[in-house]
Structures are given as C-alpha cells and as structure tokens.
Amino acid sequence: MTATEVGDGTRGAGGGRRAVAGTTWPRLALFTGLAAAVVIADQVSKAWVDRSFALSQASDIVAAPLAPPTPVIGDFVRIAKGYNNGAIFSLFGSSASFFAIASLVAIAVILWYEITRGGRASILLTLTLGLLMGGAIGNEIDRIRLGYVIDFVDMGIGTWRWYTFNVADASISVSIVLLLLIGIVGDVGRPPESARAVGAGAPGDGRGASAPGDGRGASAPGEGNASGTGGPGDAAGPGETGAAAGSAEPTNAGGDGRPG
C-alpha cells in the first residue's frame, strides 16, 4: 500500500495494491483542515459574543433583560445574541437533545464517506463535506457543553430580518447550496476511474508476478534464464548436451552423419 492511500483496497493480479475507493492523505488533510478551521472560527466567535454582548433575543433558557442589537454594518448586519435549543436558525423548537444525537450520526456518516469514498469525489465535494463537517461539529460542541447553541448574526433590511445564525450555521448553509449545485450539474472535476487505481499491475507486465516464459521471473520449461542455470526441463534432450552458455549441437566426425 502506498504512503498516500487510505481506506479499503484489494490486491491486484500483479501483486499491487489497488485503491478501490479510499481517499488520499492530501485530500483527507484538506477535508479535516477546512472542518477544523470552521470549528475554531465558530467557537472563538461564539465565546467572544457571549462574553461581550448582552442577550438581545427572548429565550426560555435564561431569563434576562434584553438589550438592543449592536449595529455592525448599519442596520443590515447586527449582533443580536440569542440562545437556541432547536435546530439551525432556531427551527423546530426546543429539541436540543434530539439534534445532538442527529448531529453525531451526521458527523459519523460524513467522516466515513470521506475516508472510504473520498477518492472517487472531486475536490469541490471534499470542500463541501469539510464545510458541512465543521458546521455540524461547531454546533454539536455547544449542544453537548451548554445544552443550546449561541446565535448572534442578525441580517436584514428594516423589519425584514433573516433568522439569527452563527459561523457554523453559515458553513452548513453554504455546504447545502453546494450539494444542491453538485446534484444538478454533477460532481465536476471528479477523477477518472484510471486515476483511482494505484499500483495495480496486470499479469506479466513486470510489476508483479511474471507470466510463464516472459524472462522476468521463473523460466518456462525448456528455456534458459538470465543466470545461465536451467529451470524445470533444462536437462539436455536427445542429441543435446548441457553447456554453460546454453546448449551445443553434437559433432560429427565423418560425413555420413554417424558419430565418429
């Protein structure tokens, strides 16, 4: 198995290792690196907001006076801290425990797919799954640690406001849009089948077990090999004598064809 293969594989006919579906270390590093970056940005921003801003949205988790949202880009982008014990964008009410379990299942499925099938996908799909993984882990940390998710980004115009969200929610939303795009136009940039087979040699191609009589492994009956030692069947036949350089014809002393 080469240093870059991960996942399951089968032994090729020529003794090489064929990467059936697994990913490669660079691809896995890209996936995990992006997911880790999303988690770090999400958790750092939530910690900063929770420490620096008062609650701006009513919550059944904490009873506290509400402060007005803090403008960031005028009224278009504001910080409005809220505690969400439902799903993404505060949907489906108080179901933190259910979504914590569902998120764990989703995280396991995404990780399994990238490790075992990532080599069949394009880099775009790997990036998409990295964003989805990071967002799922970011909100899962909140649900396990706090029992709720911290939301704080409030966007809109006037009274037309989008659901309050966080970095993890944004990452999940972008990944869903990319998944829909991939579903419509296909997995563009997916490697061809030939590029996914690594180190698999066909019989007799010199990269694994040699075919009978091809001069690259065990010699066929009756043939001399490169070292000058005969393989099976190299013993002298009728009218032949074994010699170091091969075989020699019998010599005639007379011209009548009989041995002299």
Give the model confidence (pLDDT) of 24-41 as tens digits. Answer: 888 899 999 999 999 999
Of the pLDDT bands very low, low, confident and very high (cuts 50, 70, 90), residue 82 is: very high
CA distance 102 to 105: 5
- Active-site entry in 42, 142, 154, 169: 169
Q: Which residues contact 33 (CB under 8 A, 6 or more apart)?
A: 130
238 versus 157: which is more confidently predicted? Answer: 157
Residue 94 pLDDT class (50, 70, 90 cuts)? low
Percent of the chain with pLDDT over 70: 59
Read off the tokens for 205.
């191609």
Mark whether 256 is an active-site residue.
Answer: no
Q: In this predicted model, what pLDDT tens digit does every residue of 200-240 receive, in sequence order?
A: 444 444 444 444 444 444 444 444 444 444 444 444 444 44
- How far CA 119 is from CA of 43, 62, 147, 203, 255, in Å, comes to 30, 46, 36, 25, 74
| Start-to-end C-alpha separation, the chain | 63
Tokens for 228, please give them. 């000058």
Q: Which of 151, 154, 205, 234 is catalytic?
A: 151
| Domain residue spans of the chain | 19-191
Token output for 84? 């969400």
> Catalytic annotation on 142?
no
